[in-house]
Structure 1
């Protein structure tokens, strides 16, 4: 049996879940790229990073090909959201103060980490975190959700999370967004309207999701109305502590900061070109 990737000699924890409005989602992409490089070359142990971004819509590359993209973006901006494009796969997702994002960053092994193993590790983490609630967390595509994929996480058929992966410089970043508080269906309705305006009935080669808001919910709606992002952070730390001999809190080091700044400039440039 292959040992779980959650078992690491040491887990480095970077908690950016309370940085507020000043923390830009494009910075997050650059931070994970930086961590991939340092974890990949063995200069950092396996790292878990948690972060929250306020009022942000993250589009996928395919979303930028919508025939009426500008009108769709105008709708989102009129409702107070900033719109950016991510550097990994997937489609549009909503980030706000009720959505906790977690990255697990591993060094690539000699035989390589199979892509499904990366996804399964994140699934295992979330299942362990919510073990005490005795809920059945399922990984399979939830048709009608936004950014659908085979590793959508759901409870009773309602999606509360989606997982993506990014591989760079011998580092593997497995990323998840968790809808912790707020209304999952209201977030989904926002993306439904974005596609409605972005498509306006036009035929496209790529099939965009037909979003059904009632297919999505948050963990506070599905599991426990008292859940908060802070309480889920505690569950994350407890779970990783149980899977390691040593965990420690950290931010980017002096060696990592110049690489982050280079990556951030690249991410900014790519985002401007994509939009």
Structure 2
């Protein structure tokens, strides 16, 4: 775990906080932004960067979700419920984003012999454990069967998942991304994904095994810690821990050099979605 801790200890951390403004732009822009940061951080043009983002009601699908046999029926249901949807470029399956879900991205340069994939996951897990250490709750990293987007780095308390981690690697940059269900009902979010799969898969047999979702195994941090947390509360904890890990923590935006890169990567994300979602 020490090597994971080393990842967090950077000389400088630039923080791009879009936790408030993110409600006003599409989540596709977020994935274009993280690709941009992977490229610039990986090339050594920018320091390690942490980004926070919150989006209005959006379902982020995995590539496997785009292959569901009755996908159009599932997407129609999401539309009825007032959700936007997109296919992301990192691994995993469908997750829910809304005003109560905080997304954090840590973008590292892949120097030396490269960053082992588990080391990236462990770095994010350590960060979250430190952020909530004062609650004296055991935050575990293991697959929570019955959750949406299950994986070996589901973060849970007492068997209930509140976060999932994914990774994106591009041009010697590594983006470790996490969604944190901060407020609201984790089980209600899970019900939406359960119904989506019910409609998009139907009774057809599929080669890929989609999760059989049990909404009772998912919760928000507010529910698990029995306290009224806000996105701002969690952002403050995030910044406090990050500040301890570096000599220089500063707020920033995309640089003049990164803006043209962003347009290029954003266009690619849009093209990718059209390819996967237009039948």
Whether TM exceeds 0.5 here: the answer is yes
Partner in structure 1 of residue 163 of structure 2: 161
Gap runs ≥5 in structure 2: none
Partner in structure 2 of residue 268 of structure 1: 270
1:145 and 2:144 equivalent? no
Aligned residues: 275
Q: C-alpha distance in 2, partners of 1:148/1:233?
A: 25
1:190 and 2:192 equivalent? yes
**Residue aligned with 2:34, SS:** helix
1:71 and 2:59 equivalent? no
Q: C-alpha distance in 2, partners of 1:123/1:21?
A: 26
**Residue aligned with 1:272, SS:** helix
Q: C-alpha distance in 2, partners of 1:65/1:35?
A: 29
Shift of 1:119: 0.3
Deviations 1:100-149 (A, max 9, x none): 00000000021110000000000000000001111100000000000000
1:126 and 2:128 equivalent? yes
Q: C-alpha distance in 2, partners of 1:136/1:4?
A: 22
Partner in structure 2 of residue 237 of structure 1: 239
Partner in structure 2 of residue 41 of structure 1: 43
**C-alpha RMSD of matched pairs (Å):** 0.9
Q: C-alpha distance in 1, partners of 2:273/2:121?
A: 26
Gap runs ≥5 in structure 1: none
Shift of 1:225: 2.2
Deviations 1:40-76 (A, max 9, x none): 1111111100000110000000001111000000001
**Residue aligned with 1:101, SS:** strand
Partner in structure 2 of residue 180 of structure 1: 182
**Residue aligned with 1:192, SS:** helix
Shift of 1:20: 4.6
1:57 and 2:66 equivalent? no
Partner in structure 1 of residue 224 of structure 2: 222
Q: C-alpha distance in 1, partners of 2:33/2:68?
A: 28
**Residue aligned with 1:44, SS:** coil
Alignment of 1:20-39 (within 5 A): 20-39=22-41
Q: C-alpha distance in 1, partners of 2:171/2:127?
A: 24
Q: TM-score under structure 1 normalisation?
A: 0.98
**Residue aligned with 1:5, SS:** helix
**Residue aligned with 1:8, SS:** coil
Deviations 1:82-107 (A, max 9, x none): 01100111000000000000000000
Q: C-alpha distance in 1, partners of 2:201/2:59?
A: 17
Q: 2:172 aligns with which of 151, 170, 173?
A: 170
Q: Where do 4+ consecutive residues of structure 1 move more than 6 Å?
A: none
